[in-house]
């Protein structure tokens, strides 16, 4: 994996795998945060997986279309520079993508990043589907993610149960999925990552693709 660094800015956050969210950012905030990536259009499934038992902890989508967003149903990650509307997070630059991963990866969880390339039209349909989904109740992250995917052509078979691992198993049956594994040594309560965010320390990828602080 290529080494990448990003500036971890301050973020007030409640640490939980899945928690309800009713935020609705202004039109101006969403418009100003818009980020257009030069990477190919794609849909990425993030799955947070427990260590050592392998239980599924959280499901979310990174969607790269005419803009790049994260659909984080019942998620707890937030940042003052990232406007949010009912679990859709706007303005996902490479820095904030890495920041999101770093928040979830710790000594008790690793993050699976599974990506499929799609047309721009399909990626934008996925963004609209995520926006249509609405706020998600606690523990319904895999349910909402599956429902969001099922509205898309070619993704109708997505399961809508409560198990993030079953959703990932299905996603991996899609053609030409590429996968990355993100690991981190942060404590289970993620206290260290919050300290990095507050201090503005640089975080990047070290050996074997592990996220680490870079001085």
Q: What is the DSSP letter of 126?
A: H
- Are 35 and 102 in contact, with CB atoms under 8 Å apart? no
pLDDT tier at 79 (50, 70, 90 boundaries)?
Answer: confident
In this prediction, residues 108-121 reach a mean pLDDT of 98
Comparing CA positions, the residue from 84, 44, 89, 39 lying closest to residue 66 is 39
**What is the pLDDT confidence band of residue 199, given thresholds at 50, 70 and 90?**
low
What element of type H or E holds 68?
strand 68-71
Under the banding of pLDDT at 50, 70 and 90, the label for residue 22 is confident
Q: How many CB atoms lie within 10 A of CB 196?
A: 18
Whether pLDDT at 212 is above 60: no
pLDDT at 78: 86
User: Considering the chain, what is the average pLDDT of its residues?
Assistant: 85
Domains of the chain by residue range: 11-185
Segment 10-25 shows an average pLDDT of 53
Q: Tell whether the model's pLDDT for residue 46 goes beyond 90.
A: yes
Does 12 score more than 70 pLDDT? no
pLDDT of residue 36: 98
Q: Which of 66-80, 86-100, 159-173, 186-200 has the lowest mean pLDDT?
A: 186-200
Q: Cα separation of 72 and 191, whole Å? A: 21
When mean pLDDT is compared across 45-54, 118-127, 203-212, the lowest value belongs to 203-212
Q: Which CATH number fits domain 11-185: 1.20.140, 3.40.50, 3.90.1720, 2.40.10?
A: 3.90.1720
Q: Which residue has the tokens 């053609």?
A: 175
Contacts of 44 (CB under 8 A, 6+ apart): 61, 62, 63, 64, 113, 114, 115, 116
Among residues 156, 153, 151, the alpha carbon closest in space to that of 133 is found at 151
What is the average per-residue pLDDT within 63-77? 96
Q: Is a pLDDT exceeding 70 seen at residue 4?
A: no
């Amino acid at each position: 994996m290529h080494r990448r660094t990003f500036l971890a800015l301050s973020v007030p956050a409640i640490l939980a795998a899945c928690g309800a969210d009713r935020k609705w950012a202004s039109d101006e905030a969403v418009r100003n945060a818009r980020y257009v990536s030069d990477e190919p259009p794609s849909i990425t499934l993030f799955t947070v997986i427990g260590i050592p038992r392998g239980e599924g902890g959280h499901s979310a989508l990174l969607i790269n279309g005419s803009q790049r967003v994260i659909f984080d149903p019942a998620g707890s990650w937030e940042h003052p520079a990232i406007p949010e509307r009912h679990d859709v997070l706007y303005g996902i630059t490479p820095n904030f993508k890495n920041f999101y991963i770093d928040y979830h990866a710790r000594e008790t969880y690793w993050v699976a990043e599974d990506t499929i390339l799609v047309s721009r039209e399909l990626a934008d349909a996925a963004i609209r589907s995520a926006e249509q989904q609405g706020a998600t109740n606690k523990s319904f992250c895999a349910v909402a993610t599956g429902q969001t995917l099922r509205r898309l052509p070619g993704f109708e078979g997505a399961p809508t149960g409560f198990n993030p691992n079953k959703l990932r198993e299905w996603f991996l049956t899609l053609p030409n999925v590429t996968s990355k594994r993100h690991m981190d040594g942060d404590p289970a309560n993620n206290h260290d990552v919050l300290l990095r965010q507050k201090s503005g320390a640089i975080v990047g990828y070290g050996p074997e693709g592990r996220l680490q602080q870079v001085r």
